[in-house]
């Protein structure tokens, strides 16, 4: 794909073959050298552990082009550390933070032409992934792994991101169990939400919000994003042992507290409390922040409405403004989140 042919204003969030990707193999107990590849295919054994037993983890982060032309990678080290945690959680060779960051930097440098221009609301999405390649028929961890980082220009994840969209809540499905793999960014968690997600889309919803699997009393997250809500100048987000530790959510908590002067609470959020919130949103690297119009409890026939006119609330707008201003270089990064690529 040629970057000159990109319609920057109408990018979707989907796979597009862009420039080179970077690869690295783990063999004989150590990681090898980083190499470039122009191929978007991989060759692995039909018995590889990633195919049979889901031994795979991935990350998602973004790079932005500022008004000054400089490229900014957002919170790269935090993604590296989260990938190490995921590797540890499903018994894979840990990807060192330094090697992860070097690979991401090389991919962004090699894909500079695909970083969208400033002002389009688009970004370069970076996808690092690691998977077990050892042939195994019995259930046991792999001893060989492959690490790949590729990148592509993307637009918004949820349709209508700049206005509110409806979400549904159901007790019919669980995304992840307490003390399971829900806190790791592994493919199995997303596979577990495919049926519920498709059902939600068929019913006209953006996504499904899940409840805690043990008691079905508290909000967890939706399949691709964390939940947060605003009440009485307080930013509230669920505390749970089965949801992903979203880097975007952590960023918003910092912005809410340090820039907007809000109180931040990370705690259990009972379903009934939804009726008291002034605003609600879903947040993640891909979604950025998606303002929620309403959450329909389809099991009980109850709707919790956060926007009557379909417009995002004032706190959402402030949070998004400051987050994007830091990412795009319009506001000084006081938190050490940005890595510059010149």
* Rounded distance between C-alpha atoms, residue 173 and residue 196, angstroms: 7
| Nearest residue to 52 via CA among 130, 137, 129, 131 | 137
pLDDT one-digit tens code per residue, 70-100 = 999 999 999 999 999 999 999 999 999 999 9
* Rounded distance between C-alpha atoms, residue 107 and residue 16, angstroms: 15
Specify the pLDDT at position 162: 53
* Rounded distance between C-alpha atoms, residue 197 and residue 209, angstroms: 10
**H or E stretch including 83?**
helix 76-89
Cα-based distances in Å from 193 to 172, 175, 189, 277: 11, 6, 7, 26
What are the phi and psi torsion angles at 318 (to 5°)? -70, -45
What are the phi and psi torsion angles at 338 (to 5°)? -100, 135
Mean pLDDT of 113-141: 96
Q: How confident is the model at residue 224 (pLDDT cuts 50, 70, 90)?
A: confident
Could you tell me the pTM of the whole model? 0.95
Cα-based distances in Å from 45 to 8, 10, 42, 141, 172: 38, 38, 10, 15, 36
pLDDT one-digit tens code per residue, 228-252 = 999 999 999 999 999 999 999 999 9
* Rounded distance between C-alpha atoms, residue 281 and residue 167, angstroms: 10
68 has a pLDDT exceeding 90: yes
pLDDT one-digit tens code per residue, 295-324 = 999 999 999 999 999 999 999 999 999 999
CA 159, 164, 169 angle in degrees (round to 5)? 90
Task: Give the SS3 label for residue 192.
Answer: coil
- Token digits for 308? 């009557």
The DSSP secondary-structure symbol of 3 reads G
pLDDT one-digit tens code per residue, 3-32 = 777 899 899 999 999 999 999 999 999 999
Mean pLDDT over the full length of the chain = 94
Task: Give the SS3 label for residue 260.
Answer: coil
Helices and strands per DSSP (H, E), number in the chain: 7, 18
* Rounded distance between C-alpha atoms, residue 75 and residue 102, angstroms: 14
- Strands 288-297 and 165-169 come out as parallel
1 has a pLDDT exceeding 70: no
Q: How confident is the model at residue 161 (pLDDT cuts 50, 70, 90)?
A: very low
């Amino acid at each position: 794909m040629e970057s000159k042919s990109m319609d920057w204003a109408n990018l979707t969030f989907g796979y597009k073959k862009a420039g080179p990707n970077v690869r690295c193999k783990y063999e004989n107990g150590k990681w090898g050298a980083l190499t470039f590849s122009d191929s978007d295919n991989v060759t692995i054994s039909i018995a590889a552990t990633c195919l049979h037993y889901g031994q795979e983890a991935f990350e998602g982060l973004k790079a932005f082009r500022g008004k000054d032309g400089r490229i900014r990678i957002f919170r790269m080290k935090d993604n590296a550390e989260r990938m190490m945690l995921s590797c540890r959680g499903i018994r894979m060779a840990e990807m060192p933070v330094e090697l992860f960051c070097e690979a991401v930097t090389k991919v962004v440098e090699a894909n500079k032409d695909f970083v969208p221009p400033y002002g389009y609301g688009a970004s370069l999405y970076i996808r690092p992934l690691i998977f077990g390649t050892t042939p195994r028929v019995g259930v046991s961890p792999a001893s060989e792994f492959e690490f790949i980082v590729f990148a592509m220009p993307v637009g918004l994840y949820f349709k209508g991101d700049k206005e509110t969209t409806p979400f549904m809540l159901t007790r019919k499905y669980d995304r992840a169990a307490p003390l399971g793999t829900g806190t790791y960014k592994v493919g199995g968690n997303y596979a577990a939400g495919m049926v519920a997600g498709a059902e939600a889309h068929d019913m006209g919803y953006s996504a499904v919000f899940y409840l805690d699997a043990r008691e079905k009393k508290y909000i967890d997250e939706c399949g691709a994003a964390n939940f947060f809500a605003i009440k009485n100048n307080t930013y509230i987000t669920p505390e749970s042992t089965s949801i992903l530790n979203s880097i975007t959510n952590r960023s918003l908590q910092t912005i809410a507290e340090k820039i907007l002067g809000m109180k931040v609470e990370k705690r259990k959020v009972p379903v009934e409390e939804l009726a008291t919130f002034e605003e609600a949103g879903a947040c993640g690297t891909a979604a950025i922040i998606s303002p929620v119009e309403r959450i329909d409890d389809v099991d009980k026939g109850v709707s919790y409405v956060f926007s009557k006119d379909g417009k995002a609330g004032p706190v959402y707008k402030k949070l998004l403004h400051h987050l994007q201003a830091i990412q795009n270089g319009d506001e000084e990064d006081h938190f050490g989140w940005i890595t510059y690529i010149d």
